[in-house]
Amino acid sequence: MSQAGLPARIGQYDVVRRLAYGGMAEVLLGRLCGADGFRKDVVIKRVLPHLASNAEFITMFRDEARITARLHHGNIVQVLEFAEADGPYYLALEYVHGTTLGNILHALWRNGAKLGVPEVAHVGIEVARALDYAHRKLGDDGSLLEIVHRDVSPSNVLVSVEGEVKLADFGIARARQRLSPTQAGHVKGKFAYMAPEALTQGKVDARSDLFALGAVLFEALTNTPAFRAENEAQTIHHVLTYEVPPPSTLNPEVPPRLDEIVLSLMQRDPARRPARGLEVVEALGPLCLRSVPPAADVLAATVARLQAVDAARPPREPVTGNLIPASVRRRVLVVDESRTLRALVKATLGARYVVIEAATVEEASALMRSAPPGVVLCQRVLSGASGLDLCRAIRADAALGDVRFILLTGDETPEVQAEAAAAGADAVLPKRLEPARLDETIDRLLRPPV
Active site residues: 151
Pairing between strand 331-335 and 375-379? parallel
Which residues face 14 on adjacent strands? Answer: 9, 31
CA contacts within 13 A on the Cβ side of 282? 7
The amino acid at residue 425 is: A
Q: What is the dihedral of CA 245, 249, 254, 259, to 10 degrees?
A: 20
CA distances from 222 to 155, 170, 217, 225, 249 (A): 17, 26, 9, 8, 9
Q: How far is CA 9 from the centre of its chain?
A: 26
Pairing between strand 79-84 and 39-47? unpaired
d(Cα 101, Cα 120) in Å, to the nearest integer?
Answer: 10
Nearest to 90 by CA among 160, 15, 3: 15
Buried b (16+ CB within 10 A) or exposed e, 368-407: bebbbbbbbbbbbebeeebbbebbbbbeeeeebeebbbbb
CA distances from 340 to 73, 75, 335, 406, 436 (A): 37, 34, 12, 18, 17
User: Which residues fall within 8 angstroms of residue 387, CB to CB, at 6 or more apart?
Assistant: 335, 361, 378, 379, 380, 381, 407, 408
Contact 280, 217 (CB under 8 A): no
